[in-house]
């Protein structure tokens, strides 16, 4: 590239860096308001750290989480990739076929060099699958269509521009079934009582969370049906601690509240542009608000796709498969007797006891002590095999989640520029984690199979 080109790119990067530094979280912390509202850092709240969030069939017995969708995508993409590479096989491979052949050869060589030819061929399918699955998961998760690897809810605060009295809250929660819980009240002595709706339909809350409530005071009022105006009253006096029905914003710029400013026409407050999610009001009908008061918080919906490795369920499932595979290989490779004697090694103890009863007290005692030590060693072996499962699951989960948090933090600290080097790091980490997961399965399986034959 010419020197002018280099200088131009350098200049662009520098300008982006300065604007990002001033406009991102660092700049905002120092009180610089350079960027328009839309580029500002929203309030982040981390929810659902260890698992994905249900996005489909939320109430069913098998909710579809966003991480599950991501792992399906990985399976489909890996399959399509393999299909595309092997569709027209040639003796002299093309670029794609060549790449896949090279990758497979490297994998086969790696596996065979650790486990030997015979065992290597037995272990290859699972080890290669784990490697490819973990790596595809990690790399696909770097695509922009994937949401952050932790469920960060962006909480947008909606404020009113004018002072006045709230006369109407327009987004209504709907009660689908009679007797549905609509609020929870905490009484003075700390007990919690649920407030139930008696009829179905749209409600409007008359109170917000943390409001004190007297016995018999209306908590919500039925809207726009034959039961119009029926109030759901509080069964006890106390404080509202939870409003269980959430109001959803399904459209951009939906009107959410009407405020009477004292002039002829009321002011209508809209939800932000292009933001959907769950709305929670901070005001109640009849409340007086001043200009720039916060009237509601809009919590963004979870992303549709989220990196599969950031779900502990997925990594634990893979760890289970790997550990089961290792144990089964150990069982079939060494025979039941050898396999079980590794954990429950009581032969020496029984021999000692037998000797003891035969009258050889010193020999029996010695053998019994060795026997007890053998039993303890068997226990240790069992513990060390079981910790593998935990370490498999948490290592992958931790590394992937940490990477996602790193990229996310960098994106907000200094927008545009800072995330790029961390993306590079994530590419490296994706490969390393795939190698470690697959490699550990391979090495443990080799140890499980080969241990006995090496020593005896």
Partner 1 sequence: MEKWVYAFRFVGIGWYIALCIGGSILGGLWLDSHFGTSIIFTLAGVVLGLVVAALGTYRMIEPLIREQNDRTPGGKH
What minimum distance in Å lies between the beta carbon of 433 and partner 1? Answer: 11
Mutual orientation of helices 66-86 and 312-343 as an angle, nearest 10°? 80
The site string for partner 1 over 102-141 (x = CB under 8 A, - otherwise) reads --------x--xx---------------------------
| CA 93 – CA 100 distance, rounded (Å) | 10
252 binding partner 1? (CB under 8 A): no
Query: Which span sits near partner 1 by CB under 8 A: 17-25, 173-181, 284-292, 389-397?
Result: 389-397
Q: Residue 329's closest CA among 441, 456, 438, 439?
A: 441
194 binding partner 1? (CB under 8 A): no
Query: Which span sits near partner 1 by CB under 8 A: 6-14, 27-35, 122-130, 385-393?
Result: 385-393
390 binding partner 1? (CB under 8 A): yes
CB 138 within 8 A of CB 430: yes
Sheet order of strands, 181-186 included: 192-196, 181-186, 238-243, 212-213
| CA 411 – CA 422 distance, rounded (Å) | 10
CB 68 within 8 A of CB 52: yes
443 binding partner 1? (CB under 8 A): yes
What minimum distance in Å lies between the beta carbon of 399 and partner 1? Answer: 12
394 binding partner 1? (CB under 8 A): yes
One residue of 25, 381, 402, 432 binding partner 1 per CB under 8 A? 381
446 binding partner 1? (CB under 8 A): yes
One residue of 16, 142, 447, 452 binding partner 1 per CB under 8 A? 447
380 binding partner 1? (CB under 8 A): yes
What minimum distance in Å lies between the beta carbon of 101 and partner 1? Answer: 21
| CA 197 – CA 227 distance, rounded (Å) | 12
One residue of 79, 252, 387, 453 binding partner 1 per CB under 8 A? 387
One residue of 124, 169, 289, 440 binding partner 1 per CB under 8 A? 440
* Token representation of residue 264: 């002829």
User: Restricting to residues 29-58, which ones interact with partner 1 according to CB under 8 A?
Assistant: none
Q: What is the signed CA dihedral for 59, 198, 235, 281, rounded to 10 degrees? A: 60
Write the DSSP symbol of residue 38. Answer: G
CB 184 within 8 A of CB 340: no
How many residues of this chain bind partner 1 (CB under 8 A)? 22
User: Restricting to residues 417-436, which ones interact with partner 1 according to CB under 8 A?
Assistant: 436
| CA 441 – CA 395 distance, rounded (Å) | 13
456 binding partner 1? (CB under 8 A): no
What minimum distance in Å lies between the beta carbon of 119 and partner 1? Answer: 13
One residue of 172, 200, 351, 388 binding partner 1 per CB under 8 A? 388
391 binding partner 1? (CB under 8 A): yes
| CA 408 – CA 307 distance, rounded (Å) | 13
376 binding partner 1? (CB under 8 A): yes
* DSSP secondary structure, 84-137, as one string: HHHTT--SS--HHHHHHHHHHHHHHHHHHHHH-HHHHHHHHHHHHHHHHHHHHH
Residues lying near partner 1 in the complex (CB under 8 A): 110, 113-114, 376-377, 380-381, 383-384, 387-388, 390-391, 394-395, 436, 439-440, 442-443, 446-447
């Amino acid at each position: 590239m010419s020197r002018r080109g280099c200088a131009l790119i350098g200049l662009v990067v520098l300008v982006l860096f300065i604007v990002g530094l001033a406009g991102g979280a660092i700049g905002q912390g120092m009180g610089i308001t350079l960027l328009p509202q839309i580029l500002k850092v929203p309030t982040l709240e981390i929810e659902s750290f260890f698992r994905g969030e249900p996005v489909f069939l939320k109430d069913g017995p098998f909710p579809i989480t966003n991480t599950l969708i991501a792992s399906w995508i990985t399976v489909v993409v890996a399959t399509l990739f393999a299909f595309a590479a092997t569709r027209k096989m040639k003796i002299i491979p093309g670029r794609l076929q060549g790449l896949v052949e090279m990758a497979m050869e490297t994998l086969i060589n790696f596996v065979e060099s650790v486990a030997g030819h015979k065992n290597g061929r037995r272990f290859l399918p699972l080890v290669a699958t784990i490697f490819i699955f973990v790596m595809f998961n990690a790399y696909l998760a770097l695509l922009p269509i994937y949401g952050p690897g932790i469920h960060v809810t962006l909480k947008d605060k909606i404020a009113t521009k004018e002072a006045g009295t709230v006369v109407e809250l327009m987004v209504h929660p709907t009660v689908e079934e009679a007797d549905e819980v609509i609020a929870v009240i905490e009484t003075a002595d700390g007990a919690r009582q649920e407030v139930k709706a008696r009829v179905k339909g749209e409600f409007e809350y008359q109170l917000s969370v943390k409001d004190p409530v007297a016995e018999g005071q209306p908590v919500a009022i039925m809207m726009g049906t034959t039961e119009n105006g029926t109030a759901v009253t509080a069964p006890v006096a106390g404080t509202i601690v939870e409003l269980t029905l959430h109001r959803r914003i399904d459209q951009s710029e939906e009107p959410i509240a009407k405020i009477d400013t004292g002039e002829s026409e009321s002011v209508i407050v809209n939800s932000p542009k292009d933001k959907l999610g769950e709305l929670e009001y901070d005001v109640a009908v009849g409340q007086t608000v001043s200009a720039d008061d916060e009237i509601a918080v809009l919590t963004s919906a979870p992303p549709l796709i989220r990196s599969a490795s950031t779900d502990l369920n997925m990594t634990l499932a893979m760890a289970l498969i790997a550990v089961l595979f290792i144990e089964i290989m150990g069982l079939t490779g060494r025979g039941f007797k050898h396999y079980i004697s590794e954990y429950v090694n009581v032969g020496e103890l029984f021999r000692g006891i037998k000797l003891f009863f035969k009258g050889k007290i010193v020999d029996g005692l010695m053998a019994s002590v060795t026997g007890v030590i053998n039993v303890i060693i068997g226990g240790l072996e069992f513990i060390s095999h079981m910790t593998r499962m935990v370490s498999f699951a948490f290592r992958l989960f931790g590394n992937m989640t940490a990477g996602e948090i790193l990229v996310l933090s960098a994106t907000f600290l200094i927008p545009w520029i800072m995330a790029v080097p961390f993306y590079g790091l994530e590419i490296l980490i994706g490969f390393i984690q795939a190698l470690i997961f697959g490699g550990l399965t391979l090495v443990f399986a080799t140890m499980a199979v080969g241990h006995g034959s090496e020593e005896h």
